[in-house]
Amino acid sequence: MKGLAMKLSLKWLFLPILLMSLLIFSLSYAQNKFRLKPDAKGKLCLNCHETLREKLKYPFVHTPVKGEECTECHNPHTASHGKLLDEDPKKVCLKCHEGIVPKNPKSIHKAVTEGGCVKCHDPHASKNNFVLLKPGNELCFDCHKNIGNVVAKAKFNHNPVEKGCINCHDPHASAKAKYLLKNDLVALCVSCHKTDQPSFVKQHMNYPVAKSNCSSCHDAHGSNRAGILFDNVHQPVANKMCTQCHEAFTSPDALKTKKLGFELCRGCHSSMMNETFNKNRIHWPLVDKVGCLNCHEPHASPQKKLLMGDMTTLCGKCHIDTVESQRKLAEKEKQENAGAKGSVIKGVMTHQPIQDGNCDACHSSHASDSDFLLKELSVIKLCATCHDWSKHTNHPMGEKVIDPRNKNITMQCLSCHISHGTGYRYMIPFPTVTDLCVQCHKQYKR
Protein backbone atom coordinates (compact mmCIF):
# COMPACT_ATOMS: atom_id res chain seq x y z
CA MET A 1 0.00 0.00 0.00
CA LYS A 2 2.92 2.33 0.82
CA GLY A 3 4.36 1.77 -2.70
CA LEU A 4 1.03 2.63 -4.32
CA ALA A 5 0.73 5.79 -2.20
CA MET A 6 4.25 6.80 -3.20
CA LYS A 7 3.43 6.37 -6.89
CA LEU A 8 0.27 8.47 -6.56
CA SER A 9 2.19 11.21 -4.72
CA LEU A 10 4.81 11.33 -7.46
CA LYS A 11 2.07 11.43 -10.10
CA TRP A 12 0.40 14.47 -8.49
CA LEU A 13 3.80 16.09 -8.00
CA PHE A 14 4.76 15.90 -11.67
CA LEU A 15 1.30 16.83 -13.05
CA PRO A 16 1.62 20.59 -12.26
CA ILE A 17 5.15 20.55 -13.69
CA LEU A 18 3.84 18.93 -16.88
CA LEU A 19 1.00 21.45 -17.19
CA MET A 20 3.38 24.37 -16.64
CA SER A 21 5.72 22.99 -19.29
CA LEU A 22 2.84 22.71 -21.78
CA LEU A 23 1.77 26.29 -21.01
CA ILE A 24 5.30 27.61 -21.51
CA PHE A 25 5.60 25.64 -24.76
CA SER A 26 2.23 26.98 -25.99
CA LEU A 27 3.22 30.58 -25.24
CA SER A 28 6.58 30.03 -26.84
CA TYR A 29 4.91 28.56 -29.94
CA ALA A 30 2.41 31.41 -30.13
CA GLN A 31 5.26 33.91 -30.02
CA ASN A 32 7.45 31.95 -32.43
CA LYS A 33 5.19 29.51 -34.21
CA PHE A 34 7.58 29.13 -37.12
CA ARG A 35 10.47 28.30 -34.72
CA LEU A 36 12.68 30.95 -36.26
CA LYS A 37 16.17 31.68 -34.99
CA PRO A 38 16.47 34.80 -32.80
CA ASP A 39 18.03 36.84 -35.62
CA ALA A 40 15.64 35.56 -38.31
CA LYS A 41 13.14 38.39 -37.89
CA GLY A 42 12.57 41.78 -39.48
CA LYS A 43 16.18 42.64 -40.24
CA LEU A 44 16.68 39.34 -42.02
CA CYS A 45 13.56 40.00 -44.17
CA LEU A 46 14.96 43.38 -45.18
CA ASN A 47 18.01 41.71 -46.71
CA CYS A 48 15.75 40.75 -49.60
CA HIS A 49 12.95 43.29 -49.29
CA GLU A 50 15.27 46.28 -49.57
CA THR A 51 12.60 48.62 -50.90
CA LEU A 52 10.98 48.57 -47.45
CA ARG A 53 14.08 50.09 -45.79
CA GLU A 54 13.28 53.61 -46.99
CA LYS A 55 9.61 53.19 -46.19
CA LEU A 56 10.39 52.29 -42.60
CA LYS A 57 11.89 55.76 -42.15
CA TYR A 58 8.37 57.23 -42.43
CA PRO A 59 6.95 58.71 -39.21
CA PHE A 60 4.06 56.22 -38.94
CA VAL A 61 5.02 52.53 -38.91
CA HIS A 62 2.62 49.60 -38.42
CA THR A 63 3.22 48.18 -34.92
CA PRO A 64 4.18 44.61 -35.99
CA VAL A 65 6.61 46.03 -38.54
CA LYS A 66 8.12 48.37 -35.95
CA GLY A 67 8.64 45.35 -33.69
CA GLU A 68 10.22 43.43 -36.58
CA GLU A 69 7.44 40.86 -36.33
CA CYS A 70 6.82 40.20 -40.03
CA THR A 71 5.40 36.77 -39.18
CA GLU A 72 2.46 38.41 -37.44
CA CYS A 73 0.97 38.75 -40.91
CA HIS A 74 3.19 36.66 -43.23
CA ASN A 75 4.20 33.01 -43.38
CA PRO A 76 7.96 32.86 -44.09
CA HIS A 77 7.73 29.57 -45.98
CA THR A 78 4.54 29.09 -47.95
CA ALA A 79 0.92 30.21 -47.88
CA SER A 80 -2.43 29.72 -49.55
CA HIS A 81 -2.84 33.48 -49.89
CA GLY A 82 -1.09 36.14 -51.95
CA LYS A 83 1.99 37.93 -50.56
CA LEU A 84 2.51 34.90 -48.27
CA LEU A 85 -0.17 36.18 -45.92
CA ASP A 86 -0.75 33.79 -43.05
CA GLU A 87 -4.53 34.35 -43.12
CA ASP A 88 -7.25 35.18 -45.59
CA PRO A 89 -6.61 38.84 -46.60
CA LYS A 90 -10.14 39.67 -45.38
CA LYS A 91 -9.34 38.32 -41.91
CA VAL A 92 -5.65 38.96 -41.32
CA CYS A 93 -6.17 42.49 -39.97
CA LEU A 94 -8.98 41.38 -37.65
CA LYS A 95 -6.54 39.24 -35.66
CA CYS A 96 -5.47 42.45 -33.93
CA HIS A 97 -8.20 44.94 -34.92
CA GLU A 98 -11.24 42.83 -34.07
CA GLY A 99 -13.11 45.66 -32.35
CA ILE A 100 -13.03 47.93 -35.35
CA VAL A 101 -16.66 47.14 -36.25
CA PRO A 102 -19.16 47.62 -33.38
CA LYS A 103 -21.85 45.09 -32.59
CA ASN A 104 -25.05 45.56 -34.60
CA PRO A 105 -23.69 48.40 -36.75
CA LYS A 106 -26.18 50.53 -38.67
CA SER A 107 -23.69 51.11 -41.48
CA ILE A 108 -20.33 49.65 -42.48
CA HIS A 109 -17.76 51.07 -44.89
CA LYS A 110 -17.78 48.98 -48.06
CA ALA A 111 -13.98 48.66 -47.95
CA VAL A 112 -14.30 47.07 -44.49
CA THR A 113 -17.03 44.58 -45.48
CA GLU A 114 -14.89 43.51 -48.44
CA GLY A 115 -11.81 43.13 -46.26
CA GLY A 116 -10.07 45.84 -48.26
CA CYS A 117 -8.15 47.50 -45.41
CA VAL A 118 -5.21 48.16 -47.76
CA LYS A 119 -7.44 50.35 -49.93
CA CYS A 120 -7.00 52.98 -47.21
CA HIS A 121 -4.06 51.82 -45.10
CA ASP A 122 -0.47 50.90 -45.93
CA PRO A 123 0.29 47.63 -44.09
CA HIS A 124 3.89 48.65 -43.41
CA ALA A 125 4.46 52.40 -43.02
CA SER A 126 3.21 55.78 -44.19
CA LYS A 127 3.80 59.51 -44.04
CA ASN A 128 0.24 59.87 -42.75
CA ASN A 129 -1.30 59.17 -39.36
CA PHE A 130 -3.01 55.75 -38.98
CA VAL A 131 -0.71 54.58 -41.82
CA LEU A 132 -3.21 56.00 -44.34
CA LEU A 133 -2.21 55.93 -48.01
CA LYS A 134 -3.11 59.60 -48.46
CA PRO A 135 -3.89 62.45 -46.07
CA GLY A 136 -7.45 63.31 -44.98
CA ASN A 137 -10.10 64.03 -47.58
CA GLU A 138 -7.73 63.29 -50.45
CA LEU A 139 -7.98 59.60 -49.57
CA CYS A 140 -11.80 59.63 -49.29
CA PHE A 141 -12.25 61.46 -52.59
CA ASP A 142 -10.34 58.74 -54.44
CA CYS A 143 -13.54 56.67 -54.23
CA HIS A 144 -16.16 59.31 -53.47
CA LYS A 145 -15.34 61.38 -56.54
CA ASN A 146 -18.84 62.84 -56.89
CA ILE A 147 -18.65 64.31 -53.38
CA GLY A 148 -15.10 65.49 -54.06
CA ASN A 149 -16.34 67.37 -57.12
CA VAL A 150 -19.14 69.02 -55.11
CA VAL A 151 -16.67 70.13 -52.44
CA ALA A 152 -14.15 71.42 -54.99
CA LYS A 153 -16.72 73.45 -56.95
CA ALA A 154 -18.87 74.70 -54.07
CA LYS A 155 -19.01 78.47 -53.54
CA PHE A 156 -20.11 77.94 -49.94
CA ASN A 157 -18.18 75.33 -47.98
CA HIS A 158 -19.08 73.44 -44.84
CA ASN A 159 -16.32 73.97 -42.27
CA PRO A 160 -16.23 70.38 -40.88
CA VAL A 161 -15.75 68.99 -44.41
CA GLU A 162 -12.77 71.24 -45.01
CA LYS A 163 -11.22 70.00 -41.77
CA GLY A 164 -11.81 66.37 -42.68
CA CYS A 165 -14.53 63.82 -43.44
CA ILE A 166 -13.97 62.05 -40.11
CA ASN A 167 -15.39 65.05 -38.27
CA CYS A 168 -18.82 63.64 -39.11
CA HIS A 169 -18.14 60.11 -40.39
CA ASP A 170 -16.59 57.04 -38.82
CA PRO A 171 -14.21 55.53 -41.41
CA HIS A 172 -15.00 51.94 -40.47
CA ALA A 173 -18.55 51.51 -39.16
CA SER A 174 -21.22 53.33 -37.20
CA ALA A 175 -23.38 51.91 -34.45
CA LYS A 176 -25.66 54.94 -34.47
CA ALA A 177 -26.56 55.99 -38.00
CA LYS A 178 -26.47 55.24 -41.71
CA TYR A 179 -23.87 56.77 -44.04
CA LEU A 180 -21.22 56.03 -41.37
CA LEU A 181 -22.33 59.12 -39.44
CA LYS A 182 -20.93 59.28 -35.92
CA ASN A 183 -24.34 60.12 -34.53
CA ASP A 184 -27.98 60.55 -35.57
CA LEU A 185 -28.06 63.30 -38.21
CA VAL A 186 -29.93 65.87 -36.11
CA ALA A 187 -27.81 65.19 -33.01
CA LEU A 188 -24.69 65.53 -35.12
CA CYS A 189 -25.76 68.88 -36.58
CA VAL A 190 -26.90 70.45 -33.31
CA SER A 191 -23.57 69.57 -31.69
CA CYS A 192 -22.21 72.55 -33.67
CA HIS A 193 -25.32 74.57 -34.61
CA LYS A 194 -27.04 75.84 -31.49
CA THR A 195 -30.74 75.91 -32.28
CA ASP A 196 -31.64 78.33 -29.46
CA GLN A 197 -29.50 81.13 -30.88
CA PRO A 198 -31.55 84.11 -32.22
CA SER A 199 -29.67 84.04 -35.54
CA PHE A 200 -30.62 80.35 -36.04
CA VAL A 201 -34.27 81.00 -35.21
CA LYS A 202 -34.42 84.00 -37.57
CA GLN A 203 -32.83 82.11 -40.47
CA HIS A 204 -35.49 79.42 -40.12
CA MET A 205 -38.40 81.87 -40.09
CA ASN A 206 -39.17 81.18 -36.41
CA TYR A 207 -40.26 77.61 -37.20
CA PRO A 208 -39.43 74.90 -34.61
CA VAL A 209 -36.94 72.98 -36.74
CA ALA A 210 -34.55 71.94 -33.96
CA LYS A 211 -35.52 68.28 -34.37
CA SER A 212 -36.15 68.35 -38.13
CA ASN A 213 -34.09 66.60 -40.80
CA CYS A 214 -31.43 69.17 -41.73
CA SER A 215 -30.59 67.35 -44.97
CA SER A 216 -34.05 68.09 -46.37
CA CYS A 217 -32.71 71.57 -47.20
CA HIS A 218 -28.95 71.65 -46.66
CA ASP A 219 -26.08 69.94 -48.48
CA ALA A 220 -23.62 68.96 -45.77
CA HIS A 221 -20.75 68.81 -48.26
CA GLY A 222 -21.09 72.32 -49.70
CA SER A 223 -23.27 74.24 -52.12
CA ASN A 224 -23.45 77.12 -54.56
CA ARG A 225 -26.19 78.70 -52.46
CA ALA A 226 -25.83 80.65 -49.23
CA GLY A 227 -26.68 78.63 -46.13
CA ILE A 228 -25.39 75.58 -48.05
CA LEU A 229 -28.90 74.96 -49.33
CA PHE A 230 -29.07 72.38 -52.10
CA ASP A 231 -28.57 73.93 -55.54
CA ASN A 232 -32.21 73.32 -56.53
CA VAL A 233 -34.58 75.00 -54.09
CA HIS A 234 -38.39 74.91 -54.09
CA GLN A 235 -39.60 78.41 -54.91
CA PRO A 236 -41.61 78.95 -51.68
CA VAL A 237 -38.49 78.05 -49.68
CA ALA A 238 -36.29 80.36 -51.76
CA ASN A 239 -38.80 83.17 -51.18
CA LYS A 240 -39.11 82.30 -47.46
CA MET A 241 -42.84 81.75 -47.92
CA CYS A 242 -43.19 78.74 -45.63
CA THR A 243 -46.86 79.46 -44.97
CA GLN A 244 -47.62 78.65 -48.58
CA CYS A 245 -47.45 74.98 -47.56
CA HIS A 246 -47.24 74.97 -43.74
CA GLU A 247 -49.31 76.35 -40.92
CA ALA A 248 -48.06 79.61 -39.35
CA PHE A 249 -45.07 79.32 -37.00
CA THR A 250 -47.33 80.39 -34.13
CA SER A 251 -49.57 77.36 -34.66
CA PRO A 252 -49.34 74.37 -32.26
CA ASP A 253 -48.71 72.23 -35.39
CA ALA A 254 -46.47 74.70 -37.18
CA LEU A 255 -44.73 72.07 -39.35
CA LYS A 256 -47.99 70.46 -40.44
CA THR A 257 -48.90 70.99 -44.09
CA LYS A 258 -52.17 72.68 -44.95
CA LYS A 259 -53.28 69.82 -47.19
CA LEU A 260 -52.22 66.22 -47.85
CA GLY A 261 -50.93 64.49 -50.95
CA PHE A 262 -51.18 66.07 -54.39
CA GLU A 263 -53.85 68.48 -53.15
CA LEU A 264 -51.11 70.51 -51.45
CA CYS A 265 -49.17 70.90 -54.70
CA ARG A 266 -52.22 71.55 -56.84
CA GLY A 267 -52.45 75.21 -55.82
CA CYS A 268 -49.26 76.10 -57.73
CA HIS A 269 -49.01 73.24 -60.21
CA SER A 270 -52.64 73.27 -61.34
CA SER A 271 -51.94 73.10 -65.09
CA MET A 272 -49.70 70.04 -64.67
CA MET A 273 -52.30 68.42 -62.40
CA ASN A 274 -55.14 69.05 -64.83
CA GLU A 275 -53.13 67.61 -67.70
CA THR A 276 -52.21 64.58 -65.57
CA PHE A 277 -55.73 63.75 -64.46
CA ASN A 278 -57.01 64.01 -68.03
CA LYS A 279 -54.84 61.04 -69.03
CA ASN A 280 -56.07 57.45 -69.16
CA ARG A 281 -53.31 56.06 -66.90
CA ILE A 282 -51.75 57.73 -63.86
CA HIS A 283 -48.56 56.81 -62.04
CA TRP A 284 -49.95 55.37 -58.80
CA PRO A 285 -47.56 57.07 -56.32
CA LEU A 286 -49.05 60.41 -57.39
CA VAL A 287 -52.49 59.59 -56.02
CA ASP A 288 -51.71 57.93 -52.68
CA LYS A 289 -51.63 59.81 -49.36
CA VAL A 290 -48.01 60.87 -49.82
CA GLY A 291 -48.57 62.03 -53.39
CA CYS A 292 -45.86 64.10 -55.06
CA LEU A 293 -43.51 63.59 -52.10
CA ASN A 294 -43.01 59.96 -53.12
CA CYS A 295 -40.59 61.24 -55.75
CA HIS A 296 -39.95 64.94 -55.07
CA GLU A 297 -38.31 66.74 -52.15
CA PRO A 298 -40.52 69.49 -50.72
CA HIS A 299 -37.74 71.93 -49.84
CA ALA A 300 -34.52 71.44 -51.81
CA SER A 301 -32.56 68.81 -53.70
CA PRO A 302 -29.26 68.31 -55.53
CA GLN A 303 -31.31 66.86 -58.41
CA LYS A 304 -33.23 68.80 -61.04
CA LYS A 305 -37.01 68.95 -60.61
CA LEU A 306 -36.42 68.43 -56.88
CA LEU A 307 -36.20 64.67 -57.40
CA MET A 308 -35.24 62.62 -54.34
CA GLY A 309 -32.33 61.03 -56.14
CA ASP A 310 -30.96 60.08 -59.53
CA MET A 311 -33.58 58.35 -61.64
CA THR A 312 -32.07 54.87 -61.36
CA THR A 313 -32.16 55.05 -57.56
CA LEU A 314 -35.55 56.75 -57.43
CA CYS A 315 -37.37 54.45 -59.87
CA GLY A 316 -35.49 51.48 -58.38
CA LYS A 317 -37.26 51.98 -55.06
CA CYS A 318 -40.35 50.41 -56.64
CA HIS A 319 -39.02 48.88 -59.84
CA ILE A 320 -36.08 47.09 -58.25
CA ASP A 321 -36.60 44.02 -60.50
CA THR A 322 -35.91 46.05 -63.65
CA VAL A 323 -32.91 47.90 -62.20
CA GLU A 324 -31.37 44.71 -60.78
CA SER A 325 -31.99 42.81 -64.02
CA GLN A 326 -30.26 45.54 -66.03
CA ARG A 327 -27.31 45.51 -63.62
CA LYS A 328 -26.87 41.75 -64.07
CA LEU A 329 -27.29 41.99 -67.85
CA ALA A 330 -24.68 44.77 -68.06
CA GLU A 331 -22.24 42.61 -66.09
CA LYS A 332 -22.97 39.58 -68.29
CA GLU A 333 -22.47 41.67 -71.45
CA LYS A 334 -19.19 43.02 -70.09
CA GLN A 335 -17.90 39.52 -69.29
CA GLU A 336 -18.90 38.14 -72.71
CA ASN A 337 -17.25 41.05 -74.51
CA ALA A 338 -14.08 40.60 -72.46
CA GLY A 339 -14.09 36.88 -73.22
CA ALA A 340 -14.27 37.61 -76.95
CA LYS A 341 -10.63 38.82 -76.77
CA GLY A 342 -10.94 41.64 -79.27
CA SER A 343 -13.45 40.11 -81.68
CA VAL A 344 -16.70 42.04 -82.02
CA ILE A 345 -19.90 40.50 -80.69
CA LYS A 346 -22.89 42.03 -82.42
CA GLY A 347 -26.01 43.04 -80.55
CA VAL A 348 -26.46 44.52 -77.09
CA MET A 349 -28.08 43.01 -74.01
CA THR A 350 -29.00 46.24 -72.25
CA HIS A 351 -31.12 49.24 -73.15
CA GLN A 352 -28.96 52.37 -73.11
CA PRO A 353 -31.54 54.77 -71.57
CA ILE A 354 -31.79 52.49 -68.52
CA GLN A 355 -28.00 52.26 -68.25
CA ASP A 356 -27.84 56.05 -68.41
CA GLY A 357 -30.55 56.39 -65.75
CA ASN A 358 -33.01 58.00 -68.17
CA CYS A 359 -36.24 56.13 -67.52
CA ASP A 360 -38.12 59.18 -68.76
CA ALA A 361 -36.67 58.69 -72.24
CA CYS A 362 -39.52 56.22 -72.77
CA HIS A 363 -41.90 56.65 -69.83
CA SER A 364 -43.91 59.60 -68.60
CA SER A 365 -43.37 59.99 -64.87
CA HIS A 366 -46.86 61.37 -64.07
CA ALA A 367 -49.44 60.02 -66.51
CA SER A 368 -49.99 58.81 -70.05
CA ASP A 369 -52.64 57.54 -72.44
CA SER A 370 -50.40 54.56 -73.29
CA ASP A 371 -49.72 51.23 -71.60
CA PHE A 372 -46.73 51.27 -69.24
CA LEU A 373 -46.97 55.08 -69.16
CA LEU A 374 -45.12 55.25 -72.49
CA LYS A 375 -44.64 58.74 -73.89
CA GLU A 376 -46.15 57.86 -77.29
CA LEU A 377 -49.28 55.97 -78.23
CA SER A 378 -47.31 54.21 -80.97
CA VAL A 379 -44.40 52.03 -79.85
CA ILE A 380 -42.89 52.36 -83.33
CA LYS A 381 -42.99 56.15 -83.08
CA LEU A 382 -41.48 56.06 -79.59
CA CYS A 383 -38.58 53.81 -80.59
CA ALA A 384 -38.01 55.97 -83.69
CA THR A 385 -36.99 58.89 -81.44
CA CYS A 386 -33.66 57.05 -81.04
CA HIS A 387 -33.68 54.25 -83.64
CA ASP A 388 -34.13 54.76 -87.38
CA TRP A 389 -35.86 51.44 -87.87
CA SER A 390 -36.26 51.96 -91.62
CA LYS A 391 -32.48 51.52 -91.91
CA HIS A 392 -32.50 48.74 -89.36
CA THR A 393 -34.99 46.36 -90.98
CA ASN A 394 -37.43 45.93 -93.85
CA HIS A 395 -39.67 43.70 -91.74
CA PRO A 396 -43.34 44.72 -92.13
CA MET A 397 -44.64 46.64 -89.12
CA GLY A 398 -47.56 48.87 -88.29
CA GLU A 399 -51.29 48.86 -87.60
CA LYS A 400 -52.10 46.91 -90.77
CA VAL A 401 -49.65 44.07 -90.07
CA ILE A 402 -51.16 41.39 -87.79
CA ASP A 403 -48.89 39.35 -85.54
CA PRO A 404 -49.42 35.72 -86.65
CA ARG A 405 -48.85 34.52 -83.06
CA ASN A 406 -51.76 36.59 -81.78
CA LYS A 407 -54.45 37.91 -84.12
CA ASN A 408 -55.42 40.60 -81.59
CA ILE A 409 -52.17 42.57 -81.85
CA THR A 410 -50.13 44.14 -84.62
CA MET A 411 -46.44 43.90 -85.42
CA GLN A 412 -44.24 46.54 -83.78
CA CYS A 413 -40.78 46.80 -82.21
CA LEU A 414 -41.77 44.95 -79.04
CA SER A 415 -42.98 42.00 -81.12
CA CYS A 416 -39.35 40.93 -81.42
CA HIS A 417 -37.42 42.99 -78.84
CA ILE A 418 -37.94 43.23 -75.09
CA SER A 419 -37.10 46.79 -74.06
CA HIS A 420 -35.67 45.91 -70.62
CA GLY A 421 -33.53 43.03 -71.93
CA THR A 422 -33.74 39.25 -71.89
CA GLY A 423 -30.21 37.96 -71.44
CA TYR A 424 -29.81 37.45 -75.18
CA ARG A 425 -28.21 39.71 -77.77
CA TYR A 426 -30.38 42.29 -79.56
CA MET A 427 -32.70 42.02 -76.53
CA ILE A 428 -34.67 39.27 -78.24
CA PRO A 429 -36.47 36.56 -76.23
CA PHE A 430 -34.57 33.65 -77.83
CA PRO A 431 -30.89 32.67 -78.01
CA THR A 432 -30.59 33.29 -81.77
CA VAL A 433 -32.32 35.37 -84.43
CA THR A 434 -33.30 32.13 -86.22
CA ASP A 435 -35.03 30.87 -83.07
CA LEU A 436 -37.00 34.10 -83.01
CA CYS A 437 -37.98 34.17 -86.68
CA VAL A 438 -39.31 30.63 -86.83
CA GLN A 439 -41.87 31.50 -84.17
CA CYS A 440 -43.85 33.07 -87.04
CA HIS A 441 -42.16 31.61 -90.10
CA LYS A 442 -42.70 28.00 -89.06
CA GLN A 443 -41.98 26.68 -92.57
CA TYR A 444 -38.30 27.43 -91.97
CA LYS A 445 -38.14 25.63 -88.67
CA ARG A 446 -35.64 22.79 -88.60
Average pLDDT over residues 179-203: 95
Of 75-84, 134-143, 247-256, the poorest mean pLDDT is in: 75-84
CA 382 to chain centre: 32
Residue of 315 and 14 predicted with greater confidence:
315
Q: What is the mean pLDDT of residues 370-396?
A: 89
Q: Read off the pLDDT of each residue in 389-398 and give the average, rounded to a whole number.
A: 80
In the predicted model, is pLDDT for residue 374 greater than 70?
A: yes
| Surface-to-core class of residue 29, CB atoms within 10 Å of its CB (0-12 exposed, 13-18 middle, 19+ buried) | exposed
The whole-number pLDDT of residue 367 equals: 97
Q: What is the average per-residue pLDDT within 413-442?
A: 94
Q: Does the pLDDT value for residue 10 go beyond 60?
A: no
Task: Give the pLDDT band (50/70/90) at residue 48.
Answer: confident
Query: Among 422, 423, 426, which Cα is nearest to 347's?
Result: 426
Least confident window among 185-194, 323-332, 392-401:
392-401
Q: Where are the strands (E) in 318-389, listed by range?
A: 367-368
Reported in sequence order, the residue ranges of 176-279 that DSSP labels E, i.e. its strands, are: 232-233
Mean pLDDT of 313-340: 93
Average pLDDT, the chain: 90
**CA angle 428–431–432, rounded 5-degree value:** 85
Going by pLDDT thresholds of 50, 70 and 90, the confidence category of residue 373 is very high
pLDDT value of position 305: 96
Question: Over the stretch 284-311, which tens digit does the pLDDT of each residue have?
Answer: 999 999 999 999 999 999 999 999 999 9
- 8 or 330, greater pLDDT: 330
Q: Which residue has the higher pLDDT, 36 or 137?
A: 137
pLDDT at 58: 95
The mean per-residue pLDDT over the stretch 416-427 comes to 94
Q: Where residue 329 falls among pLDDT bands split at 50, 70, 90?
A: very high
Under the banding of pLDDT at 50, 70 and 90, the label for residue 3 is: low
- Does the CA dihedral 341-344-346-347 come out positive or negative? positive
The predicted structure's pLDDT at residue 7: 52
C-alpha 242/C-alpha 61 separation (Å) is 55
pLDDT tens for 275-290 read: 999 999 999 999 999 9
The residue among 295 and 392 whose pLDDT is bigger is 295
Position 12 scores a pLDDT of 52
Asked whether the predicted pLDDT for residue 61 surpasses 50, the reply is yes
Phi, psi dihedrals of residue 38, rounded to the nearest 5°? -55, -35
pLDDT score, position 186: 96
4 or 272, higher pLDDT: 272
SS3 call for 192: coil
Rounded mean pLDDT, 169-197: 96
Residue 346 carries which DSSP code? P
Name the band, by pLDDT with cuts 50, 70 and 90, for residue 190: very high
Q: How confident is the model at residue 27 (pLDDT cuts 50, 70, 90)?
A: very low
Whether 34 and 71 have beta carbons less than 8 Å apart is answered as yes
Confidence of residue 76 (pLDDT cuts 50, 70, 90): confident
Q: Looking at residue 37, what is its pLDDT?
A: 73
* Arithmetic mean of pLDDT, 382-388: 91
Taking the C-alpha atoms of residue 195 and residue 210, their distance in angstroms, rounded to an integer, is 6
**What pLDDT does residue 28 have?**
45
